[in-house]
Amino acid sequence: MSDSALAGVVAASITPVTADFKIDIQRLRTHGEHLLDCGCSFISTFGTTGEGASFSTAEKIAALTELKAQGMEMGRQLPAVMTPSLDDAVESLLAYGRLGCRAALVLPPFYYGASEAGIAAFFDALIARTETQTRIDLVLYNIPQLSRHRFTQPLIARLIERHGTRIAGIKDSTGDLDNGLMLVKSFPQLRVFTGDDRVLPVLVRNGGAGMIGGMPNVFASELKALFDNPNDAAILNKQARRIEAVDTHGSLVALKAALAHYRNDENLATAMPPLLALSREERAMLVELIEQTGYRAAA
């Protein structure tokens, strides 16, 4: 699986946590196995939906190490690097390579208003300090609304020119179809993913690789069906309504609330501070909106 094509529906997994805010390994494993059984190609742990910026590098590596020890197929893992610290990014990338993960989803260094040259320098240093020990593929994570930085066409071209096939793909979480299509056209050597269900069908019809997103946490089977049948307007309409419901109720905490409801497991609703779980009233409103789309049971 380690050499398998980067394509399909990649679930940006939520991270179950315990009452004392530790990663709940058993629930994470059970959830990941369920997502793969529902047709997801890969699991992306510890990204935005996985609250990756709220856990330490050591916690995330320890969790993935334990998942491997318990028999999880690491060649179907695409964990995120969510840190502005070069040392932490290096440590993460080396661990992901050592564990046999398929690729790493890498956020640009946030906090400082870095120039494109500065972001390129960060990737230069990250690759220089790891390439003798791992050649794991890198997938760029374009989410400027949170990272404050955009992977522009010139910046991507610069990284490919310097690092070639190490830059294997990009996740575009802008929700901008035109930007996704530009990426497909400009960089045919990259696997281009969207983070938005509503962009998925057109992107796939135009050569995109698929999606890396949070909605498969609850709707994996439907999104696999949409990936396989990108002209299915009925599925697209339902998913558009569902993503609107989730986004208006807190995004990842809404996904956790929906999972807690449909799996009958309140532990799944717990979020890492500073995020807070939905109230009972908020969850009821969310579930009502989801069920208005015809959804009744976990996918």
Tokens of 203: 């992107």
Question: 3-state class of 183 per DSSP?
Answer: helix
Active-site entry in 171, 224, 238, 256: 171
Per-residue buried b or exposed e for 74-106, using 16+ beta carbons within 10 Å of the residue's own CB = bbbbbbbbbbbeeebbbbbbbbbbbbbbbbbbb
The single residue of 15, 48, 49, 130 carrying the catalytic annotation is: 48
Give the torsion sign (CA, 176, 53, 89, 67): negative
In 3D space, the residue among 9, 169, 168, 167 whose CA is nearest the CA of residue 76 turns out to be 9
Query: Which residues are bridge partners to 192 per DSSP?
Result: 170
Give the single-character DSSP code of 68. Answer: H
205 sits in the region (left: phi over 0; alpha: psi -120 to 50; else beta) called alpha
Q: Is 57 a catalytic residue?
A: no
Which of the 8 DSSP states describes residue 75? Answer: G
Kindly calculate the radius of gyration of the chain based on its CA atoms and give it in whole angstroms.
18
C-alpha dihedral, 134 to 139 to 142 to 146, nearest 10°:
-50
Per the annotation, the verdict on 256 as an active-site residue is no
Q: What angle do CA 237, 143, 113 make, to 5 degrees?
A: 155
Is residue 96 flagged as an active site residue? Answer: no
Instruction: Choose, from 45, 57, 83, 141, the residue flagged as catalytic.
Output: 141
Length of the chain: 299
134 is catalytic: no
Residues catalogued as catalytic: 48, 111, 141, 171
